[in-house]
Amino acid sequence: MAATVTPMGNETAQKGRQRIDVRLRPEQKSEIERAAQIKGLTVTDFIVQNAVANARQTIREYDAWTLERPDAEIFAAALMEPAVLGPHLAQAAKNYRRRFLKS
């Protein structure tokens, strides 16, 4: 295994940092170690960089949905249709209005 090189100033950068303990299978670990080696990163840096990038992407996709076909078609097609309430939804709304909106 490659020795972990500790860059200068790492000591202070470590302050205030937090830990996450994860369990993984041996083959997953050796794959990660191999990939980190290829990228020239420590295993920690490799895991953190990838996990953070993935987390950001997940959050971005959550806050902004990009609809491609066929989802965009489904959405646009619904907009073309006239708005009609089915009986179940209409009744649910009526019950709610009577209970919460009439004072």
Catalog residues that contact other proteins under the rule CB under 8 A.
62-80, 83-86, 88-90, 92-93, 95-97, 99-101
Smallest gap, in angstroms, from Cβ of residue 69 to other proteins?
Answer: 5
Smallest gap, in angstroms, from Cβ of residue 85 to other proteins?
Answer: 5
Looking at beta carbons only, is 21 or 63 nearer to other proteins?
63
C-alpha dihedral over 53, 45, 23, 15, to 10 degrees? -100
Q: Which residues of 40-57 are buried (b: 16+ CB within 10 A; e: fewer)?
A: eebbeebbeeeeeeeeee
Which amino acid, residue 10? N
Looking at beta carbons only, is 34 or 97 nearer to other proteins?
97
